[in-house]
Amino acid sequence: MKFTDSPVIELPVRDAVLSFQQDNGSLHVGTTVWPCSLVLVKFAERWAPPQTPENPYSSLLDFRAKRAVELGAGCGVAAMGLYLLGLTDVVITDIPAVMPALKRNLKRNKPVLGKNLKHAILHWNKADQIAALSPPYDVVVATDVVYIEETVGPLISTMEAMVKDDGVVLLGYQLRSPEAHKVFWEMCEGVFGIEKVPHEDLHPDYAYEETDVYILRKKKKETETS
C-alpha cells in the first residue's frame, strides 16, 4: 500500500479494518492522517505476540494488561491500532482544536473497537493536565509530533512524566523541521536510551524510506553516593 492523502484512510489490523476521516482543509495538522502512525501500528502488528521464539520484539509488544497514552494523537490512528493488538487501557490526547476530528473517528470506529476509548485534552506545558491523567503509563505512544522547535522541550518533559521507569515510548518519526529535529534528539539523549528499529523489521507494505520507529526507555538516574 502507498500512503494516500485521500479523505478516508483505511488501516487493516489483524481481522479488523479501521477507517479514519481526514479534514485536509483544516488549519490544524492533527486532522490529517500522517504516515508515521500507520508505520508504527503495522510494525507492532507484524511482531506482536503470539509469534515465534525468535521474535526480538515479543516482550516489547506484549500489550496485555498494559496502560497506554498517546500524545498529540490527531485522528487517533496509533492508539486505536495498538488497542486492537492487546492494550487494555488507552487514553488518547490532543489539544482542543483537534478534539472534534478525534471524537469523530472514535465514533466511526466504535463498531470495530467494541467501545469508546478514553480521550482527554492535553497541553504538554500544563502540569495539572498531565497529573489529571494519572501517570505513569507502561506505554507512551507518539507519532509525527516533532515539527515545532518551541514544543520540543514540553514534549520530552511530558514523555518523561508519563512513562514508567521500566516502560517504553513508541515513537513514529519523520523529519519535519531541521531545527526541531536537532533540539529533539539532543534533549532525548539526556533522558532516554534510544533504539532505532531497523527498516527491514518494519512491515514490508508500510515501510516508507523517510519514516522511522524508535523505542525510547528512561535512562537510570545515577544515585548519589554518600
Q: Is residue 223 in a domain?
A: no
pTM, entire model: 0.92
Q: Is residue 225 in a domain?
A: no
pLDDT in tens, 185-194: 999 999 999 9
| Total of domains in the chain | 1
- CATH assignment at residue 87: 3.40.50.150
Q: Please tell me the predicted confidence (pLDDT) of residue 51.
A: 65
Q: Is residue 226 in a domain?
A: no
Confidence of residue 1 (pLDDT cuts 50, 70, 90): very low
pLDDT in tens, 88-137: 899 999 999 999 999 999 999 999 999 889 999 999 999 999 999 999 99
Beta bridge partners, 141, equal 70, 170
Q: Is residue 151 in a domain?
A: yes
Residue 110 belongs to what domain range?
Answer: 8-218
Residue with cell string 534528539: 185
Helices 178-191, 152-162: crossing angle, 10 deg rounding: 30
Q: Is residue 46 in a domain?
A: yes
pLDDT in tens, 39-93: 999 999 999 987 667 889 989 999 999 999 999 999 999 999 999 999 989 999 9
Q: Is residue 3 in a domain?
A: no
DSSP 3-state assignment of 166? Answer: strand
Q: Is residue 149 in a domain?
A: yes
Residues of 137-163 as b/e, b for ≥16 C-beta within 10 angstroms?
Answer: bbbbbbbbbbbeeebbeebbbbbbbbb
